[in-house]
Amino acid sequence: MTVENLTYKSFGNRSILIEWPAIIDEKILNSVLNYKNAIKKNSIKVIVDIISTYNSLTIFYHTSIENIDSEMLTLKSIYNEQYSLKIAKNYLWKIPVCYDQKFGLDLEEISKKNGLPIDEIIGIHSRQIYTVYFIGFLPGFLYLGGLDEKLYFQRKSDPRLVVEKGAVGIGALQTGIYPQESAGGWNIIGNSPIQFFDRKNEQPCFAQAGDKVKFIPIDIKSHEEIFNLVAYKRYHIESEVVNA
């Protein structure tokens, strides 16, 4: 992909939006993250923050951008440097999930409409290795790509007013975990007892874009045990480096 494939737009007087083709693709994600690192390396003194999504970067500056065309040219000149940067260290996080129907509120509906036994849904969901594309709409909400197409299921037309903290859901082509109690329209298939966001930590969310996630099925008893360990800060998420 070349710089000509990207679009650059003014996004207010202190920010610039850069967009890739609007698809969920791991090659695009790697390009987004590498470009983000290259911009940070070259322009950190004038930039407040850079926010990445599946296919975009929004760059926020300390002050108003005096010459937008000149700044866009500077960004374009940085683009090719991403290929000489070392890829950041990423981790595979092993996340325990209880798929018991106490938590899997929408398993039966997905089973009927997708023509899959519930055990098969659980097996497919937990076998995959997912990629963290970005973190939002709640702090610590991991948007995960890599869902098997057999499990694709549209978001609810009438979202729930309350979704339990730790709920694991399917939203169209993605899967993710609610890091706190929230309203939400994803289809809930299980629950994880771990903490996904803690503002007291130096890194509030343990994962970052580019990391991998694998779900590890657990029973209700194990869910309760891990939940208690987390409450006393005695639980450590199992992980391994996938690149360095």
- 57-62: Cβ within 8 A, 24+ apart: 57/17, 57/18, 57/32, 58/11, 58/15, 58/16, 58/17, 58/18, 59/15, 59/16, 59/17, 59/18, 60/14, 60/15, 61/14, 61/15, 61/16, 62/14
pLDDT tens digits for 202-239?
888 999 999 999 999 999 999 999 999 999 999 999 99
* Residue type (1 letter), 78: I
Mean pLDDT of all residues belonging to the chain: 91
Report pLDDT for 1: 57
**Tokens matching residue 155:** 């978001």
For the chain, domain boundaries: 3-84, 90-243
Q: What is the CATH number of domain 3-84?
A: 3.30.1360.40
Mean pLDDT of 176-197: 96
* Cis, peptide link before residue 60, omega less than 30° from 0: no
Judge whether 26 and 131 are in contact, CB under 8 Å.
yes
- pLDDT > 70: what percent of the chain? 93
CATH, domain 90-243, list 2.40.50.140, 2.60.120.10, 3.30.565.10, 2.40.100.10: 2.40.100.10
Local structure of residue 158 (DSSP, 8 states) = S
Q: pTM for this structure?
A: 0.84
Q: Return contacts of 106-110, CB within 8 angstroms, 24+ apart.
A: 106/153, 106/169, 106/170, 106/187, 106/188, 106/189, 107/189, 109/187, 110/151, 110/153, 110/170, 110/187, 110/189
What's the mean pLDDT in 177-201?
Answer: 95
